[in-house]
Structure 1
Amino acid sequence: MSAPHRLLFVHAHPDDETLATGVAILHHVARGDDVHVLTCTLGEEGEVIPAELAHLEGAEGDPLAEHRRGELAGAVEVLGVTHHLLAAGRDGARTAYRDSGMVGSAAFEHPRAFAAADLEEVAAEVRRVIDEVDPDVVVTYDENGGYGHPDHIRVHDAVRWALAEMPSAPTLFVTVTPHSWVLEDRAWLVEHVPDEAGYAVPAAGDPVAPSVVADELVTHAVVDPGVVPRQQEALRAHATQVVVGDGWFALSNDIAARLAGREGYAVLDPETGELLGAAGGRDRRRRGLTGEER
């Protein structure tokens, strides 16, 4: 496939860029492409892992936001991308939108909660960044937001809205994982995560995330194991949120996940929300992610 010149990855919180799309980002940066990341909130509701930073979690004035802004800056430097923060600076130091937490939480009722913000307004802010960057490709979550987080779903909806209004829109890719990869990764984790590390390893038959789909729905695979060391370095910048092992990581839930050096994507029609399948990906050869076409 022809290499795109400019890509925009749109994410909800700091660390999402490296966890969900770090392989594709690093792969395209290494190719010399112009890669941009848009972050929509500062992750004020993140669960802090290190005991010495626990005082930041839930503290008055949201000190975790500024701390995570610094973590994000460190990760962005490792990734080698241009970073954008959605609707920053409207009221001084704060960003316009705040991490919503999960549905039913107190954070979800906050007046600046991202997931509760007017969708048309959010889409307009996203569109401003798209117009500024002028990307060939936009990448974000699938309709389930990866694992159902309301901020991720709001990002998906806002990106679709923004692109659907454009007469000549960039190609939209969403993150999806082939089911066969999940089984392979879980088998790998059993062999490589030490018992003494204290992290749970999912069993082959355990439930999977909503973004795990039948293999045939994944039109593109960015496979580049060589970028994993830099992905791990970028993840270490997000020290409040992520523990990094050798080829794996864990969040505050203490469940290990593999850093396999591969990510799955599919082309999505922004107007209908339909995954276009292999034919849709081939029809848009000039503006696709590089890697293996499945």
Structure 2
Amino acid sequence: MGLTRLAGMSPPAHRLLLVHAHPDDESIGQGATMAKYAAEGRGVTLVTCTAGEMGEILVPELEHLAADREDGLGLHRRGELAEAMRELGVTDHRFLGGFGTYRDSGMKWHDDGHAVAADLVHDNAFWHADLTAAAAHLVEVIREVRPQVLVTYDEFGGYGHPDHIQAHRVAMYAAQLAAVPSYRHDLGEPWEIAKIYWGAMSASRMRAGLRALRESGDTTSFEGMDPDGPLPPFITADENLAAMVDAQEFHPHKMAALAAHRTQITTDGPFFALSNNVGATAWGIEYFRIVKGRPGEVNEDGLETDLFAGVPADH
């Protein structure tokens, strides 16, 4: 049920919309921020574009759900997402166009180390979605929820996954269309999102975390990443960061949400290894690049500490 549809209740004064490609992306990228804002009574709406039907299954007893067998992973991951949202305290989470509208496109690894589209892509894959049609689904959500802040991926989707790239395109296009007074009156009253951010990971924080891992004797987590060498494209140079949300208090909630996505993430995997070696700062502080809007008040490092900084409530 949407934030503005609860009978007899006013919507929260501050409202955040996140657009992600698959279940688990949200918990990895902004799980702590989501938990913090939900606990503060701010509106948090998650739109997930696919059910992650093509994901790798890390639980042996669930391998029968794979796309090339029973093809039941998407429905299972729907349940994992619901559990993760309970851990984060988020009650408004939806699938773009409704569950099953768009299918996970799958991916393969390019020789250069980033993801690209797979050789075979399902006809209903999100990568093949008509951009205007997909954006219209999101426009309806934007006009209903009326978020002041939108968070999604950068133009490369972090690491090149076609669904991440498509989610970026849909989110950015929908944000523009939602504000057009003459566009699709049937989708609701126009609404302009005041601030847009792309999720990011701090290069300096990642290097510090990798050093702590290596010094602890862990040479397998984030294998191939050298704390003093080149970093992959999903890591952002600190000078390009605009905001950081310190939600270390909600670090346990983020870890619990990650654990809920058990077909995709293992508790002995790199996310938990980094957390164990660095502590709450590893995943409890989340970073962002600003795309639209004027930055509000900043800290001593020149970073906003609240994504709603400078935005009047109920803008």
Q: Normalised by the size of structure 1, how large is the TM-score?
A: 0.81
Distance 2:217 2:270 in 1: 9
Superposition pairs of residues 242-261 of structure 1, within 5 angstroms:
242-245=265-268, 248-249=271-272, 259-261=282-284
Q: Counterpart of 1:101?
A: 106
Distance 1:211 1:193 in 2: 24
Secondary structure of 1:9 counterpart: strand
Contact preservation (8 Å) 2:64, 2:70? no
Contact preservation (8 Å) 2:87, 2:253? yes
One-letter code of the match for 2:123?
P
Q: 1:101 to 1:84 in 2, by over 3 A?
A: same
Distance 1:126 1:193 in 2: 45
Q: 1:133-161, CA deviations, whole angstroms, 9 ceiling, x for partnerless residues?
A: 11111111111111111101111111111
Q: 1:74-117, CA deviations, whole angstroms, 9 ceiling, x for partnerless residues?
A: 1111111111111116xxxxx1100001244255x211110111
Q: Please identify which structure carries the higher strand content.
A: 1
Q: Counterpart of 1:218?
A: 241
- Unmatched runs of 5 consecutive residues or more in structure 1: 90-94, 251-257, 270-275
Contact preservation (8 Å) 1:15, 1:72? yes
Contact preservation (8 Å) 1:14, 1:72? yes
Secondary structure of 1:213 counterpart: coil
1:159 aligns with 2:171: yes
Q: 1:53 to 1:61 in 2, by over 3 A?
A: closer
Q: Counterpart of 2:147?
A: 135
Secondary structure of 1:266 counterpart: strand
One-letter code of the match for 1:66?
L
Query: Offset of 1:229 from its aligned partner?
Result: 0.9
User: 1:47 pairs with 56, 71, 79, which one?
Assistant: 56
Distance 2:175 2:155 in 1: 15
Taking only the aligned residue pairs, the percentage that are identical comes to 38
Q: Counterpart of 1:282?
A: 296
Secondary structure of 1:244 counterpart: coil
Q: Counterpart of 1:31?
A: 40
**Aligned residue pairs, count:** 264
Secondary structure of 2:239 counterpart: helix
Contact preservation (8 Å) 1:139, 1:173? yes
Q: Counterpart of 1:62?
A: 71
1:186 aligns with 2:214: no
Query: Offset of 1:119 from its aligned partner?
Result: 1.0
Query: Offset of 1:43 from its aligned partner?
Result: 0.1
Q: 1:178-225, CA deviations, whole angstroms, 9 ceiling, x for partnerless residues?
A: 221121121122245757xx6454321454232322212111001222
Q: 1:265 to 1:199 in 2, by over 3 A?
A: closer
Alignment RMSD (CA, Å): 2.8
Query: Offset of 1:244 from its aligned partner?
Result: 2.1
User: 1:77 pairs with 63, 86, 89, which one?
Assistant: 86
Distance 1:147 1:243 in 2: 20
Distance 1:238 1:223 in 2: 23
Distance 2:216 2:39 in 1: 28
Q: Normalised by the size of structure 2, how large is the TM-score?
A: 0.76
Secondary structure of 2:283 counterpart: coil
Range 11-20 or range 21-30, more displaced: 21-30
